[in-house]
Each structure stands twice: as C-alpha cells, then as structure tokens.
Chain A
Amino acid sequence: VNGVHDMGGMQGFGPIEREDDEPVFHHAWERRVFALRLACGGLGKWNIDMARHANERMPPADYLAATYYERWLWGLQLLLVGKGLTTQEEIQSGKSLAPVPHGVIAFAPERVEKAVRAGRNYRVDAVLPTRFFVGTTVVARNINPVGATRLPRYVRGKHGVVQRDHGVFIFPDTNAAGLGPKPQHLYSVRFAAKELWGDGTPHNDGVYLDLWDDYLDPV
C-alpha cells in the first residue's frame, strides 16, 4: 500500500550530490528517454498521474538502485506494454514485431515546440465550495491506498494549519486510476516540525505540503 518512492523522513541514502554547472542531461541516452516520454505521452493514452504512478511501481530494490531517468525509462516501458503499444518481446529485441495498433498517431516533431512551450495546467476552471479556509487546523487522513496517492506517509494522522488555497485542481489519486479528475481544492498546509518528528526538533521549523480536500479532515 505504500511505495518505495514515498521516502520523506527516511535517512541513510547518503549526501545529496551538488554539481557546479550541472548539465541538464548527464548522458545522451537520458536526453533520448526524456524525449521518448514526452513523445509517447503525446499519444494521449495516459495522463501525467498515470505516468508518475508507473515510475512508482518499479520493484523497490531496483528503484533505490536506479537513477532518475532509469526510472523514467522503466515507467515508460510499463505504460507502453500496459496500453498494448508494444510488447516485452519488442523491447527485448529492439524490433517492431507487429503493425502499429489502429488509431495510434505518432506525435509529430513539428508539434513538439508548441506543446513544450504551452506546458500543462492542472488547475480546473470550476467554482467549488472551499472546505477549509486559511488559518483552519486540519488533520491529514490516515489513508493507505493500493493505487497512487500524493499524500506522504509521514504526514498521515498529523495536524496542520491551512496557509493558502491554491484553487481547484485535478485530484491525482483518481486521475492515476483512470477514475476521472474529481476536481477539488488544493491547499498549502503547514505542519510543525515538532508535530511530525516529535520533541527535540526546532520550535519554529515547519513543512509545507500541497494537499487536496480528499486528504484532509476538519478537527
């Protein structure tokens, strides 16, 4: 119910390496994987939450040993095979063994620049009632769904205070499961470090999380 990607509050992974003048890509194949992900996403067979959840389903030992773009490649293969766009045999052989499935239209290079520049916006243009106003104390639900969620483990059951209402956004949990966007308010919620990590943490420190209505209950 909880994926290896949900690493907040864990330790022992070593220092974060900071490079001066870090390049966008460290290897040519990373650039290729990045382009492949965007081009295949342009086929319209999955949404961003399905794509993120694909990466999260990498076997834990592999996930921890993998680099960022290795996870992207693994997730892409899961999506492509899952949607019937390719097969494991084709990935292994590097050869197309079947005709292109009906109705699949390649993402044309001339569409790339416009699509990248336009970006994506997951804000929903809908007026929905606000459940929590700024300054309200809320408690993060103790949910442990089988599918995707963006509610970190370390915050479940903890009390926080709403800092900001970002407006109405697509809900990733249902969107990742193909159950629709279920639009709802997204809030910035502050959790005191002491509430999360107990005594001995600095009094004024806090963690801010962007959380949806369905992650929160009133106190």
Chain B
Amino acid sequence: VRVWDGTSEVRYLVLPERPPGTQGMSEEQLATLVTRDAMIGAAKVPSPTGTRP
C-alpha cells in the first residue's frame, strides 16, 4: 500500500484503470463512468455492466 499524504503544494490526480466491458466506448461515454473517488485513487471505475468493483 502506498499512501500519499499531501502537503498541498502539489495536487495529484489518478488516471483510473479502464474497467472491463468498455471496448468500443467513446471518450464521452467513458467520461460518464469516471467518479471523483476513482480520480483520487480511492475507488475503481465501475464497469458499465453494472457490477461495482
């Protein structure tokens, strides 16, 4: 486990892992899946098939 304890000088965003079942989706469609928690490394992006990882 790696913990980033920010001193607020540098802000970090996480590039989320692409979930299964997203082949062929457009950028706009993918963007609707991304959550705040996924971009701060606290959750995975849910799969569009409905199962929350």
Interface residues of A (CB under 8 A from B): 8, 18, 22, 52, 122, 150-152, 166, 169, 172, 186, 188, 193, 202, 204-211
Chain A residues in 8 Å Cβ range of B32: none
> Are A208 and B9 CB-contacts (below 8 A) given A18-B37, A22-B36?
no
**14 A–B pairs (Cβ distance < 8 Å), ordered by A:** A22-B36, A150-B7, A150-B9, A152-B5, A166-B9, A169-B9, A193-B1, A205-B3, A207-B3, A207-B5, A209-B5, A209-B7, A210-B6, A211-B7
Q: Are A206 and B9 in contact (CB under 8 A)?
A: no
A210 and B10 within 8 A (CB) = yes
Question: Which of A8, A152, A205, A211 interacts with B2 by CB under 8 Å?
Answer: A205
B2 contact set on A, CB distance < 8 A: 205-208
Determine if A210 and B9 form an interchain contact, defined as CB atoms under 8 angstroms apart: yes
Chain B interface extent, by class: 10 to 19
Which residue of the partner chain A has the closest CB to B4? A208
Among B6, B7, B37, which residue has the most Cβ atoms of chain A within 10 A?
Answer: B7
> Which positions in B face A, CB cutoff 8 Å?
1-10, 36-37
| Contact for A210 among B1, B7, B36, B37, CB less than 8 A | B7
Q: In the docked arrangement, what's the CA distance between A22 and B42, Å?
A: 14
In the complex with contacts A22-B36, A205-B1, A206-B2, A166-B10 CB distance below 8 A: yes
Q: Do the beta carbons of A202 and B10 come within 8 Å of each other?
A: no
Q: Which B residues are in CB contact (< 8 Å) with A18?
A: 37
Report the separation of the CA atoms of residues A8 and B6 in the bound assembly, to the nearest whole angstrom.
11
**How far is B2's CA from A151's CA once the two chains are assembled, in angstroms?**
19
**Which residue in chain B gives the minimum CB-CB distance to A205?**
B1
Say how far A171's CB is from chain B's closest CB, in angstroms: 10
The CA-CA distance from A210 to B10 in the complex, in Å, is 8
Q: Which 8 A-B pairs have the closest CB atoms?
A: A150-B7, A205-B1, A207-B3, A210-B7, A208-B4, A210-B10, A209-B5, A169-B9
Whole-angstrom distance between the Cβ of B31 and the nearest chain A Cβ: 16
Other-chain contact of A206, B3, B8, B36 (Cβ < 8 Å): B3
Q: Tell me, in angstroms, the Cα distance from A99 to B26 when the chains sit together.
A: 57
In the complex, A143→B6 CA distance in Å? Answer: 19
Bound together, the chains give a CA A204 to CA B2 distance in angstroms of 8
Chain B residues, Cβ within 8 Å of A204: 1
Kindly state the separation between the CA atoms of A172 and B6 in the bound complex, as whole angstroms: 14
Known: A18-B37, A22-B36. A202 touches B9 (CB 8 A): no
